[in-house]
Amino acid sequence: MQRLTSQHFWDQMDQLPVESIAHIEREVVERVLSRLELPVDTLLFDATNFFTFIASTNSRPKLPERGHNKQKRDDLRQVGVALLCSRHGSIPLWHQTYGGKVSDATCFADVLPKIRQRLVHLHRDVESLTLVFDKGNVSRANQKLVDDSSLHYVTGLTAASQHKLVERANSRLAPVELHQGENVLAYRERCKIWGAERTAVVVLSERLRQGQMRGILQHVTSAQRWLASLASTLRRGKQKRDRARIQRDIENRLHGRQHLGQVLHVQLTGDDPHLALAYQFDQGAFDVLARDKLGRVVLITDRDAWSTADIMDAYHGQSAIEAVFAHMKDPIHLALRPQFHWTDQKLHVHVFTCILGYLLARTLFLRAQQLGAPYASMESLLQALTQVRRVTVARPAGRKGGLRLTQQLEDIDAPLAGILPDLGVRDVGVYAGGPK
**Cβ neighbours, 10 Å, residue 221:** 10
- Residues 6 or more apart whose Cβ sits within 8 Å of residue 182: none
Contact 105, 137 (CB under 8 A): yes
Amino acid at 173: L
Q: Render each residue's pLDDT in the chain as its tens digit; 436 residues.
A: 344 445 555 567 778 888 999 999 999 999 999 888 888 899 999 998 888 888 888 888 888 888 888 778 888 888 899 999 999 888 999 999 999 889 889 999 999 999 999 999 999 999 999 999 998 899 999 999 999 999 999 999 999 899 999 999 999 999 999 888 788 999 999 999 998 999 999 999 999 999 999 999 999 999 999 999 999 988 888 778 888 898 898 888 887 677 888 899 999 988 888 888 999 999 999 999 999 999 999 999 999 999 999 999 999 988 888 888 888 877 777 777 666 777 889 889 989 988 998 999 899 898 888 888 888 888 888 888 887 877 888 888 766 667 788 877 777 777 777 788 777 776 544 433 433 3
Query: CB-based contacts of 187: which residues, under 8 Å, 6+ apart?
Result: 168, 169, 172, 173, 174, 201, 202
CATH top class, domain 14-155+295-369: alpha beta
d(CA 25, CA 333): 20
For residue 300, the SS3 value is: strand
CA distance 126 to 296: 31
- With beta carbons less than 8 A apart as the criterion, state whether 138 and 155 touch: yes
Domain parsing of the chain, residue ranges: 14-155+295-369, 208-292, 387-435
Q: What is the CA radius of gyration of the chain?
A: 28
> 185: which residues sit within 8 A by CB, 6+ positions away?
173, 174, 175, 176, 203, 204
Burial class (CB in 10 A: 0-12, 13-18, 19+), 301: buried
CA 35 to chain centre: 26
Task: Name the 3-class secondary structure at 146.
Answer: helix
The reported pTM is 0.81
Question: How far apart are the C-alpha atoms of 76 and 338, rounded to whole Å?
Answer: 11
Gap between the Cα atoms of 140 and 8, Å rounded: 48
Q: Which helix (H) or strand (E) holds 216?
A: helix 206-235
